[in-house]
Amino acid sequence: MRRPSTLVEVLLVLALFGCSPWTVWGSSHCKQTNVKEIRPHSVSITEFGAVGDGITLNTKAFQNAIFYLNSFADKGGAKLFVPAGRWLTGSFDLISHLTLWLDKDAVILGSTNFDDWPVIDPLPSYGRGRELPGGRHKSLIFGRNLTDVIITGNNGTIDGQGNFWWSSFWNKTLDYTRPHLVELMNSSGVLISNLTFLNSPFWNIHPVYCSEVTVRKVTILAPLNSPNTDGIDPDSSDKVCIEDCYISTGDDLIAIKSGWDEYGISFGRPSTNIMIRRLVGRTRQSAGIAIGSEMSGGISEVHAENIHFFDSYTAIRIKTSPGRGGYVRNVFISNVTLDNVDIAIRFTGSYGDHPDDSYDPNALPVIKKITIKDVTGEKISRAGLLEGIKGDKFSDICLSNINLKVSSSFPWNCTYVEGYSEMVSPQTCEPLKDAIFPMHCADCYHLSNHLHSASDRNRG
């Protein structure tokens, strides 16, 4: 973070910290979970006939093992151990009170046969598959209506072998929307940690309609040109904690969502209380942290801190469009370091991309109270490309203590946005030039618990 260099700047910083009307929101849902807690019963996948040669299909072994372990769900739960080996499988479902544990040399491999990934109904908040009308392929690891689920290990690997899916996408030969690596629906008490995710066919980790989800210390990798291989996508979910992760993929590293146009509006489940911290990564196709574009159920109370993006297209992005409805509000992003990034901050109000022709073009999103502060960047092409919607301005955009080394002669381009700024270099655009202090403190969303943040950094 750039330190204030003049007495005036010091006074401004002190004044900003003293804006008492600003909102305070904590991160109590980022609680530690003991992944080594012993389940009363444990079995190895080999006890059910699995063969870890990378050739034998083990879908039935996974299904049978989990069916057996279900009898322990009301007795404290159970653990399924995946030892060293390459375990080829199609989709399989998890159960409540289960720990799926991968040895450090274990690799769960997704089958390269479409038939091993069943087709299931579209999500009600999307109304159809995200890529194609109709259903969608079930994720490799799937769960519905679960509680107390842990997917972890000694940095074992889950490899979706996505290349054949990507080829079908590029060749336009897909019949249904591609699958994720992990999708959990309507579930709570979820922990995903200490694993590497490789080559997902589509999005990697997708908690949807979930509560109390933690994703911690995972590595997510896919080629930088792979299509739509988002890292972690909390979707119509609340109390989500993402921390200490490294992500390098072909699309958004983190994408917060809440349903698509009229289907998301009707379903009406927002994403809220999302914490992202100590995230490192890169993407040449999209953004490090994205909100949207599917945000029709609403997104609020998002806090991200201690972020480092490098060799990337965009760092922070909000994506929406007329027809989305919903809202994005109360977003606080701080302590961001950027290296070799094309666009540091981008808002897109005309993203388009609708599920069908039944959406209401007059359903305008509300984008309000977005605070971005303490950002430094080297080798930045453009500081900001902020494009709101005519007749629907993005409001209360607050930028503070931002210092970017920008190559463009036109570092900021702003349309249909309004807000405030302090200590921004290069100087921000005209609609954001009004000072935050003293008149506009209450217009900015702020997390004032800086002692908490400093304590976290010291522990890290």
**Annotated active-site positions, please?**
251
Q: Considering only CA atoms, which of 165, 170, 201 is closest in space to residue 183?
A: 201
Tell me how long the chain is: 460
In whole angstroms, give the CA distance from residue 256 to residue 254: 7
In whole angstroms, give the CA distance from residue 49 to residue 60: 9
Q: Is there a contact between 5 and 283 (Cβ–Cβ < 8 Å)?
A: no
In sequence order, the 6+-apart residues with CB closer than 8 A to the CB of 69 are 41, 43, 78, 80, 95, 98
In sequence order, the 6+-apart residues with CB closer than 8 A to the CB of 435 are 420, 421, 422
- Which residues are paired to 376 by β-bridges? 337, 403
In whole angstroms, give the CA distance from residue 448 to residue 26: 9
Indicate the helix (H) or strand (E) that contains 64: helix 59-69
Q: Is there a contact between 328 and 296 (Cβ–Cβ < 8 Å)?
A: no
Indicate the helix (H) or strand (E) that contains 262: helix 261-267
Report which residue type is found at 282. R
Q: Could you give the 3-state DSSP secondary structure of residue 26?
A: coil
In whole angstroms, give the CA distance from residue 244 to residue 266: 35
101's tokens = 């544990």
